Structure 1
Amino acid sequence: MSVAELMIGRKTSCFFVAMFMSALALVAHPLLALGWPAKQSSGAEHTRNDMRKRIDTLIRQTVKEGNFRTADGVAFNMEVPPSMAVIKEIQSYGEKALPILEEYVWGKGNREAVVALRLIGQVGGANLVKTLGPVVERHPSPQLRIRALRWLSRGPKKEILPIIRKAADSDPDESVRRVAKEILALD
């Protein structure tokens, strides 16, 4: 084999390696830009701070997906549920995500609170009642109390019935009382 043939073979190999690396960069860059971890890991491997940052990114991304603009330039918002990928990632954190999500429910942004409530409901678990019970009982927004009631209704009957009965009997908002009574009627 001549030196020229070796050089051509080497250039061809380098070309294919360069093409592969370019293709890899095209796939990896958008994922990393969205904040996806380079290595998927279980919920146990995440530090609380990393988890908080990632949950913040996921909630903001979900809220942003509901921002639209008409052809006339009028901006409006719609509620968009979290994607299955977001739900699966939050579920991978397990119940460790609940206190972080709960902060969004009690925070200033209503749209973030709605997304956080959905994610709390998707995580579920033994602490679902502990997390959503106070929302049903004390949150200032009747709409968020109603949403919390609906997610809470998936919990263990023994634990949720006292909270739902109390909402049905004494919530200051008629719509919350009505939804609580509807949930009780399904039982």
Structure 2
Amino acid sequence: MQHLIKRIVLVGPMGIGKTTAIRSLCGSLAIECEVPNLDKQAHAKETTTVGLDFGEIKLDDNDTLQVYGCPGQERYDFVREWALSLAFGAIVMVDIHEPHALEHTATLIQQCFRSPKLQVVVVLISRPASAAQQEMFTVRLSNYPQCAVPVLSADPRNPAQMLDTLDIIAAMLPDETAA
């Protein structure tokens, strides 16, 4: 039996907090692919990810989890598809207050499940929302094909909340596999 490298991919729209989540988990050890944002019409943030952000986290059970953050712009879909092809789990980050959040989240979940290795997908509500708003989003999302997945809530800036999220998804991943 050989130990698996547990790889998780963070996906979601531009500005949702993927880089922030990796930075909060890994600090100065995070590897970021940020460049100046030249598409201020899409999002007013100063920088944007154009490759894969990366970090490694030691979990409570001494497992190492590799976390990759994908660019949110559609023109980098090929990067997201490649990262998903290497991952066993994905976290789809969402701001449920965005006008097309439900449809965009469903599309990302369906894209995740087209990847042959991917076994676990969770949705992470990464902007403040009431319990009722979260429940309504979860119920509406589950009506889409392949979208009855766990929905969690965490602040990407909060290392403890992000570690809790990673612990949950890592617990859902397989421990061992044949070589």
Q: TM-score interval w.r.t. the shorter chain? A: 0.3 to 0.5
TM-score between the two structures when normalised by the length of structure 2: 0.33
Which has more helix, going by share of residues? 1
Q: Which has the higher contact order (CA 8 A, sep 6+)?
A: 2
TM-score between the two structures when normalised by the length of structure 1: 0.32
Which has more strand, going by share of residues? 2
- Greater CA radius of gyration, 1 or 2? 1
